[in-house]
Amino acid sequence: MKAIKKTIIIFLIFLLTLGQIGFRVVLAEETDAGGETQTTETVSETGDPLPPCDPPEDTSGVGVENEAQVTNEVDSTAITGENTIGEPTPTPTVDPASLEENLETEVSPTPTPFSAEVETGDAVSVVEVENSVNTTEVNSQVLYQTLNIFVPQGGDIDLSITPLAIAESVFVQNNHQEPVVNVAVIDNQNFAYLSNEIVSLANTGGNSIEGAEEAVINTGDAYSIVSLLNKVNTTFIDSTIHVLTINIFGGIDGNILLPEFSSQGGCCGEVVKIESKATVENKVDSSAISGQNSIVSTESASITTGNAQSVVNLVNFVNINLIGVTFHYLFINTFGEWLGNFLGWDDLEALPGGGSLTLSSTSSGGEKKGDCSTCADAVLIENQACVVNNVASTANSGGNTINGGEATIKTGNAYSAVSIINFINSSIIRSFGFLGFINIFGFLKGDVGGASLFATLEEPVLEELLVENTSSEKESGPEVRQEGGLLEVNLSHNVGTHVLPGDTITFFVTIKNPGTGRVYDAKLALNLIKDGVDMGGGIFDLGDIDAGKGAKVTTGLVLSKEAGPGEYVAQALASGHVGPDDQLISSSAESPFTIAVAGSFLPGGITQEVEAAGGGGEALGAMAAPKGTTQEQKLWVLLFGSLATYFSTKGFQRRRELAAAFSRRQGFIGSKTAAFRSFLMSLASLLS
In whole angstroms, the minimum distance from the beta carbon of 272 to other proteins comes to: 5
In whole angstroms, the minimum distance from the beta carbon of 127 to other proteins comes to: 17
Q: Indicate the DSSP class of residue 446.
A: S
Q: Indicate the DSSP class of residue 451.
A: G
- In terms of phi and psi (left: phi > 0; alpha: psi -120 to 50; beta: otherwise), the region of 342 is beta
In whole angstroms, the minimum distance from the beta carbon of 36 to other proteins comes to: 7
According to the 3-state scheme, what is the secondary structure of 145-176? EEEEECCEEECCEECCCCHHHHHHHHHHHCCC
Nearer to other proteins, 83 or 286 (CB): 286
Convert 518-533 to b/e letters by CB count within 10 Å (16 or more is b): bbbbbbbbbbbbbeee
In whole angstroms, the minimum distance from the beta carbon of 329 to other proteins comes to: 11
Nearer to other proteins, 63 or 536 (CB): 63
Output the CA torsion 106→111→116→121 (10° steps).
Answer: 10
Cα angle, residue 147 at apex, residues 123 and 261 outer, rounded to 5°: 130
Nearer to other proteins, 270 or 544 (CB): 270
Order of all β-strands in the sheet with 342-344 = 157-158, 256-258, 448-450, 342-344
Nearer to other proteins, 616 or 651 (CB): 651
Cα–Cα dist 331/643, whole Å: 12
Nearer to other proteins, 558 or 639 (CB): 639
In whole angstroms, the minimum distance from the beta carbon of 283 to other proteins comes to: 5
What 3-state class would DSSP assign to 422? Answer: strand
In whole angstroms, the minimum distance from the beta carbon of 425 to other proteins comes to: 8
What 3-state class would DSSP assign to 132? Answer: strand
Nearer to other proteins, 127 or 489 (CB): 127
Nearer to other proteins, 145 or 316 (CB): 316
Which DSSP string do the residues of 543-612 spell out, in sequence order?
A: EEE-TT-EEEEEEEEEPPTTPPPEEEEEEEEEEEEETTTTEEEEEEEEEEEEE-S---PPGGG-S---PP
Nearer to other proteins, 21 or 596 (CB): 21
Convert 330-364 to b/e letters by CB count within 10 Å (16 or more is b): bbbbbbbbbbbbbbbbbebeebebbbbbbbbbbbe
One-letter identity of residue 182:
N
In whole angstroms, the minimum distance from the beta carbon of 343 to other proteins comes to: 16
Contact yes or no for 272/379 (Cβ under 8 A): yes
In whole angstroms, the minimum distance from the beta carbon of 211 to other proteins comes to: 13
Nearer to other proteins, 378 or 466 (CB): 378
In whole angstroms, the minimum distance from the beta carbon of 478 to other proteins comes to: 50
